[in-house]
Amino acid sequence: MKKLFLLSVLSSTLLMGCVRYQVSKPYSNGYGVFLGAHDEDIDKILSFDAVAIDLDEFSSSSIKKLKDNDVKIYAYLSIGSLEKYRSYYEEFKDITFMDYDNWPDERWVDVSNSGWQSHISSEADRLINLGADGLFMDNFDVYYIANEEYECTNDFKVGIYNGCHTILDNLSKKNLDLIINSGTDFLMKLDENEDNLINSIGVYAQECVFSNILDYENDVFGKQEKEQQDYLFECIDLMKDKSKVLLIEYTVDDSVIDDTVNYCKKNGFYYYISSKVGLTA
């Protein structure tokens, strides 16, 4: 799944299909997430201090251009799912176990598989060699899926947790800044176990705290339901003293934008507000 990212405060403009906010202190670092961007979009993202992108969609010359302009690169890496268009899909398709709602080209992966764990570690090394300064780690929500959505044995659920733990532990030992996108149930389990591995996460990103995606194909959005919002606030409270926090919202509703901005300003959080699910530049 492709998602994300952040920026902050005061004045706003409509830019490239996204609601973008000008940066001013104390929100001094400008982040942008362009997971649907390609080489031809490179000049549109050079003004950011840091970007989250799919490095496989960019040439070496574009990556060099980002580096030459001192743009920090967070490379997208899906931990718990497998997209059908990836070059390694055929190698790992047999360890997928469930379709991914709203993303027909993607399936959830059995992360307890040692081959997959080694693959993720190798992918991280490859992304470092391409120019990544950090990782945008997506789909640790595979732990939630195994526990709540998939009919499986308790041994399978335990294996998924242990697989997520092994992968995060492996990545934490590399010279990379780590952003985790959601993964709330996994993070709460780490905290419950008093596991110091949770402190390896530099940024906790959470989507749809104030907004909600109603139609993925047509970019139709609504407001987040209170029950789900309260749950997300609980995880934000857990993570805010351990890492930076960023909210990722999908909306064109001024009231949702205002709620997001005011909440983030009050708490010193970052945010990014997009009018496109695909996060194109």
- Please report, for the domain that includes residue 78, its CATH number: 3.20.20.70
35 within a domain of the structure (yes/no)? yes
Nearest to 63 by CA among 145, 111, 1, 133: 133
Q: Looking at the domain assignment, is residue 149 inside a domain?
A: yes
- Residue 234 forms part of a structural domain: yes
Q: What is the pLDDT of residue 105?
A: 94
pLDDT tens, per residue, the chain with 281 residues: 443 333 332 223 222 333 333 332 222 246 788 889 999 999 988 888 888 999 999 999 999 999 999 999 999 999 999 999 999 999 999 999 999 999 999 999 999 999 999 999 999 999 999 999 999 999 999 999 999 999 999 999 999 999 999 999 999 999 899 999 999 999 999 999 999 999 999 999 999 999 999 999 999 999 999 999 999 999 999 999 999 998 989 999 999 999 998 999 899 998 888 888 988 87
Residue 78, pLDDT score = 98
Is residue 80 a part of any domain in this protein? yes
Burial of 172 (0-12, 13-18, 19+ CB in 10 A): middle
The pLDDT, as a whole number, for residue 162 is 98
What is the domain range of residue 151? 12-274
Residue 3 in any domain: the answer is: no
Taking the CA atoms of 79, 5, 217 and 150 in sequence, report the sign of the dihedral they define. Answer: positive
Look at residue 280 and tell me if it is in a domain.
no
> Could you tell me if 191 and 242 are in contact, meaning their C-beta atoms sit under 8 angstroms apart?
no
Query: Among 275, 181, 270, 264, which Cα is nearest to 221's?
Result: 275
- Asked if residues 259 and 14 have their Cβ atoms less than 8 Å apart, the reply is no
Cβ(216)–Cβ(257) under 8 Å? no
DSSP 44: G
| Count of domains for the chain | 1
Name the β-bridge partners of 138: 78
Q: Give the residue carrying structure tokens 């970007």.
A: 51
φ and ψ at 144, to 5 degrees? -65, -45
Taking the CA atoms of the chain, what radius of gyration do you get in angstroms? Answer: 18
Identify the pLDDT of residue 91: 98
Phi, psi of 212 (to 5 degrees): -150, 140
The whole-number pLDDT of residue 81 equals 98
- Asked if residue 4 belongs to a domain, the reply is no
Q: Quote the pLDDT of residue 23.
A: 32
Indicate whether 7 belongs to any domain: no
Closest CA relative to residue 5, chosen from 134, 103, 125? 134
Sheet containing 96-99, strands listed edge to edge, beginning at the edge strand earlier in sequence: 81-83, 106-109, 96-99
- The predicted model scores a pTM of 0.87
Q: Residue 97: is the preceding peptide bond cis (ω within 30°)? A: no
